[in-house]
Structure 1
Amino acid sequence: MDQLMQVLIVDDEPYNREELKHLLSEFTQIQSVQEAESGEEAIMKTMQYQPDVIFLDVEMPKVSGMEVAKAIQELKKPPLVVFATAYPQFAAEAFRYDAVDYLLKPYDEELLKETIGRLEKKRGVKEQTNQGKERGKLAIEVEGDIHYIDLKDILYMSRIEKRTKLITKQGEFDTKMPLKELENRLLAYGFFRIHKSFLVNLEHIQRLTPWFNGAYHLQLEGSKDTLSVSRNYIKALRAKLEI
Structure 2
Amino acid sequence: MGPISALIVDDERYAREELAYLLGKFPSVQVFGEAESGEAAILKALQIQPDVVFLDVEMPKMNGIEVAKTLTELKKVPLFIFATAYPQFAVEAFRINAIDYLLKPYDERQLKQTVERIEKTLYPAKSVESTEKLGKLAIETGGDIDYILPQDILYIYRDDKVTKIITQTGDYDVRTTLKELESRLEPFSFFRIHKGYLVNLKYVSRLTPWFNGAYQLELDGVDQKLSVSRNYVKDLRQRLEL
Give the TM-score, by structure 2 length: 0.52
For the pair 1:210 / 2:231, whether they are aligned, the reply is no
Cα separation, 2, equivalents of 1:76 and 1:197 = 28
Q: Deviations over 1:56-77 (max 9, x none)?
A: 9549982256851656555398
Q: CA deviation at 1:126?
A: 5.3
Counterpart contact for 1:76–1:240, Cα < 8 Å: no
> 1:62 aligned to 55, 67, 81, which one?
67
Q: Deviations over 1:162-216 (max 9, x none)?
A: 0000000001011000001111121231100001111000111011111111111
Closer, same or farther: CA 228–130 of 1 in aligned 2, 3 Å: closer
Closer, same or farther: CA 76–207 of 1 in aligned 2, 3 Å: farther
Q: How many residues align?
A: 145
Counterpart contact for 2:157–2:178, Cα < 8 Å: yes
Identity %: 48
Q: Which has the larger radius of gyration?
A: 1
Cα separation, 2, equivalents of 1:66 and 1:159 = 45
Closer, same or farther: CA 190–76 of 1 in aligned 2, 3 Å: farther
Q: Deviations over 1:120-172 (max 9, x none)?
A: xx94x6554343x2x33111212221111011100000100000000000010
What amino acid is aligned across from residue 205 of structure 2 in structure 1?
Q
Aligned to 1:181: 180
What amino acid is aligned across from residue 161 of structure 1 in structure 2?
D
Aligned to 1:163: 162
What amino acid is aligned across from residue 188 of structure 1 in structure 2?
P
Closer, same or farther: CA 185–80 of 1 in aligned 2, 3 Å: same
What amino acid is aligned across from residue 195 of structure 1 in structure 2?
H
Aligned to 2:122: 80
Cα RMSD (Å): 3.0
Aligned to 1:149: 148
Counterpart contact for 2:152–2:168, Cα < 8 Å: yes
For structure 2, the residue ranges without an aligned partner over 5 or more in a row are 1-47, 54-65, 82-97, 100-114
For the pair 1:232 / 2:231, whether they are aligned, the reply is yes
Cα separation, 1, equivalents of 2:218 and 2:182 = 20
For structure 1, the residue ranges without an aligned partner over 5 or more in a row are 1-55, 82-121
